């Protein structure tokens, strides 16, 4: 399916082309094909070293720094000089980021660099080196309040999104910009077709700009990107942090003099409402999901299945919302954590990205939209292609919780009996909670399946439902789904989040003395382990019925609490054991608001809903005849959540 803007643009260009063919002899018609197009692909024919490098400041129509002067967004551009001379209009690949000066981009933390006269000489990442010789312009946009832009960063808010949207408008002749000397800058050299790309915060703003429905944005490639900022900082009312929230993040990337943006940061702190963890108007402004129906652009999503920074709920909810709107989509899911595909499947990523941009920005009829829509790394460096995600035929199958031997419970098809009790143990780490599942560890309850009698495909979002009786008005409930069985797994908990950086390099594009196209290669960090945590999820029990209006629980009364775990996709081989691990407070991942509870769980009315693909008539898990004995060695420590906030990029 094609987006409305692409259909209109392609039709107009087709009509113009048809008119040219009718009016011109064959030789003249052939000369209309620019030199960078050969058949259905672009090729590197333009001189990157001699390309035009320039900077413009785009007016946003906003003034959130309150100085009475309209805020302006700085845009550094590089484009082929040959197309400018020949009057050939070209599309634009854009990476809008807050990190170009404060922190750097990519695995090697590259920053923009400038000559003494202010001319940009180096762009981070490979996009400029690779695509400019192929007939593209590249635009590196500084968010409001960062680097050379004015205004103040509001972290996913109106200033951030509309400031970047203003650049798309300018590239389509609907906005104003100036050069450093104040003279007007006009983008007469471009077709107006824009593709946004970026990892993490960069990809998040691409989602947000696409959700405005701006015309001219033909495609976005969000990599490990946020779709709702509430979901970045919280999960079902459970806070991930109070120290590194939007106010802190705005200051972390701030490029303005210290006092200028403090009022904006104060407003961010107040609006985020750390006291309750509730969803409010502040977070609604930063939630792109409701506006997925407005997206005109195609979307190529890439995400890590083990990303503990921008978790998998972000890609899954965005992907599903786009699907409901009929948006053309493509999806890559890799095994590492918060890592760009350029750093774990480089050659295939660049090739696919090349075809994607050629199709959506150059209107070249290649095969990219006829290829499988979904590509998943099933195990380290083993990739499969599929038609959709979640997998076709996936349905939530209820799995019951059984009492087992009183220490270790069971997962199976028959409802359990009796109750089990959880006592809060805030000091309990994830490693201690999930290791040695047949041991009696205070603060946790483990439920194990029998060894699987066939391969089990889990694809989508599992949910946990517990019937609970609590000792105090609120508590946190935490759950982990665990794959028990010795296997080679990506070590996404180690530094590098699943990849190691090597000393060797590979080059992707054309280099200059100031801006080389070579990047250090990587390899997967694979370890043999006795178990792997597949997915996690938390809930603040007072938010069990509403994220906007928490309701305290009455001690001694029974309540039903249901919450989702992070979406996931895996195939558990026959012989493995599936485990569900329940705890209360989780100081390693969240900031529990009221620790110290004791919680009784009614097993008969509690369950795990597992998204699986099954032959008709078969249950998800085999009948547990005895509680399986599962021994595990000590696991590596999980990444420190506090450290992650400083490595968001």
For residue 452, the tally of other CB atoms under 10 A from its CB is: 18
Residue 14, classed as helix, strand or coil, is: helix
Written in H, E and C, the secondary structure of 181-240 is: CCCECCCCCEEEEEEEEEECHHHHHHHHHHCCCCCCEEEEEEECCCCEHHHHHEECCEEC
Q: How far apart, in whole angstroms, are the C-alpha atoms of residue 211 and residue 297?
A: 9
For residue 115, the tally of other CB atoms under 10 A from its CB is: 11
State the residue for tokens 């048809």: 18
Q: How far apart, in whole angstroms, are the C-alpha atoms of residue 292 and residue 298?
A: 11
Local structure of residue 145 (DSSP, 8 states): T
Q: Are 302 and 339 in contact (CB under 8 A)?
A: no
Q: Are 326 and 297 in contact (CB under 8 A)?
A: no
Written in H, E and C, the secondary structure of 503-568 is: EEEEECCCCCCCCCCEEEEEEECEEEEEEEEEEEEEEEHHHCCCCCCCCCCCCCCEEEEEEECCCE
Task: List C-alpha distances in Å: 245 to 152, 229, 401.
Answer: 16, 10, 37
Q: How far apart, in whole angstroms, are the C-alpha atoms of residue 425 and residue 428?
A: 6
The catalytic residues are: 200, 307, 338
Tokens of 612: 């699986």
Q: Comparing C-alpha atoms, which of 575, 588, 574, 579 is closest to residue 438?
A: 579
Residue 360, classed as helix, strand or coil, is: helix
Q: How far apart, in whole angstroms, are the C-alpha atoms of residue 417 and residue 404?
A: 10
Q: How far apart, in whole angstroms, are the C-alpha atoms of residue 567 and residue 569?
A: 7
Start-end of H helices in 427-534: 430-434
Local structure of residue 633 (DSSP, 8 states): P
Q: Are 583 and 428 in contact (CB under 8 A)?
A: yes
Strand partners, 238: 235
Q: Are 639 and 647 in contact (CB under 8 A)?
A: no
Task: List C-alpha distances in Å: 555 to 444, 464, 483, 600.
Answer: 21, 21, 34, 11
Strand partners, 198: 222
Task: List C-alpha distances in Å: 291 to 211, 278, 345.
Answer: 5, 21, 32
CA dihedral for 408, 411, 414, 419, sign (positive or negative): positive
């Amino acid at each position: 399916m094609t987006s409305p803007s692409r259909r209109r643009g392609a039709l107009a260009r087709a009509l113009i082309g048809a008119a040219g063919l009718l009016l011109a002899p064959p030789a003249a018609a052939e000369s209309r094909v620019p030199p960078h197009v050969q058949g259905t692909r672009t090729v590197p024919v333009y001189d990157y070293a001699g390309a035009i490098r320039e900077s413009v400041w785009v007016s946003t129509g906003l003034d959130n720094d309150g100085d009475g002067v309209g805020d302006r967004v700085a845009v550094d551009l590089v484009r082929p000089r040959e197309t400018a001379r020949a009057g050939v209009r070209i599309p634009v690949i854009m990476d809008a980021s807050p990190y170009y000066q404060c922190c750097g981009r990519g695995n090697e933390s590259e920053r923009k660099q400038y000559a003494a006269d202010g001319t940009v000489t180096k762009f981070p990442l490979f996009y400029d080196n690779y695509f400019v010789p192929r007939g593209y312009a590249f635009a590196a946009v500084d968010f409001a309040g960062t680097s050379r832009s004015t205004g103040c960063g509001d972290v996913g808010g109106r200033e951030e999104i509309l400031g970047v949207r203003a650049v798309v408008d300018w590239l389509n002749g609907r906005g104003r910009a100036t050069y450093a000397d104040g003279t007007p800058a006009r983008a007469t050299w471009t077709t107006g077709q824009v593709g946004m790309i970026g990892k993490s915060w960069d990809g998040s703003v691409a989602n947000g700009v696409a959700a405005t429905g701006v015309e001219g944005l033909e495609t976005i490639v969000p990599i490990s990107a946020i779709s709702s900022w509430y979901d970045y900082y919280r999960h079902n009312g459970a806070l991930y942090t109070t120290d590194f929230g939007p106010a802190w993040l705005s200051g972390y990337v701030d490029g303005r003099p210290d006092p200028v943006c403090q009022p904006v940061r104060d407003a961010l702190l107040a609006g985020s409402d750390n006291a309750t963890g509730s969803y409010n108007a502040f977070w609604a402004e930063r939630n792109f999901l409701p506006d997925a129906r407005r997206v005109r652009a195609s979307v190529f999503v890439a995400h890590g299945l083990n990303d503990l920074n921008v978790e998998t709920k972000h890609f899954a909810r965005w992907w599903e919302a786009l699907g409901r709107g009929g948006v053309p989509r493509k999806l890559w899911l890799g095994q590492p954590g918060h890592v760009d595909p350029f750093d774990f499947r480089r050659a295939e990523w660049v090739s696919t990205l090349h075809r994607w941009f050629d199709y959506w920005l150059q209107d070249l009829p290649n095969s990219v939209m006829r290829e499988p829509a979904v590509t998943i790394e099933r195990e380290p460096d083993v990739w499969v292609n599929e038609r959709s995600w979640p997998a076709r035929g996936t349905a939530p199958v209820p799995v019951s919780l059984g009492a087992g031997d009183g220490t270790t419970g069971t997962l199976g098809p028959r409802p359990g009996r009796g109750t089990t009790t959880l006592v809060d143990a805030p000091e309990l780490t994830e490693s201690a909670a999930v290791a040695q599942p047949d041991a009696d560890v205070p603060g946790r309850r483990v439920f194990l399946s029998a060894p699987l009698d066939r391969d089990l495909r889990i694809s989508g979002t599992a949910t946990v439902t517990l019937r609970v009786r609590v000792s105090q008005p609120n508590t946190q409930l935490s759950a982990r789904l665990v794959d028990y069985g010795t296997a080679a797994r990506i070590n996404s908990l180690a530094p590098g989040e699943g990849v190691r950086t090597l000393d060797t390099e590979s080059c992707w594009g054309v280099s200059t003395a100031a801006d080389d196209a070579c990047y250090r290669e990587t390899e997967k960090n694979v370890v043999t382990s006795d178990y792997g945590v597949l997915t996690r999820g938390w809930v603040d029990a007072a938010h069990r019925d509403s994220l906007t209006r928490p309701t305290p629980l009455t001690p001694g009364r029974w309540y039903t609490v249901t919450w989702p775990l992070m979406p996931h996709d895996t195939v558990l081989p026959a012989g493995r054991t599936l485990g569900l691990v329940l705890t209360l407070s989780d100081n390693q991942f969240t900031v529990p608001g009221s620790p110290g509870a004791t919680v009784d769980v009614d097993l008969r009315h509690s369950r795990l809903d597992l998204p699986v693909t099954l032959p008709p008539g078969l249950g998800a898990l085999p009948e547990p005849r005895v509680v399986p004995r599962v021994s595990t060695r000590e696991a590596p420590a999980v990444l420190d959540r506090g450290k992650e906030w400083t490595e968001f990029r």
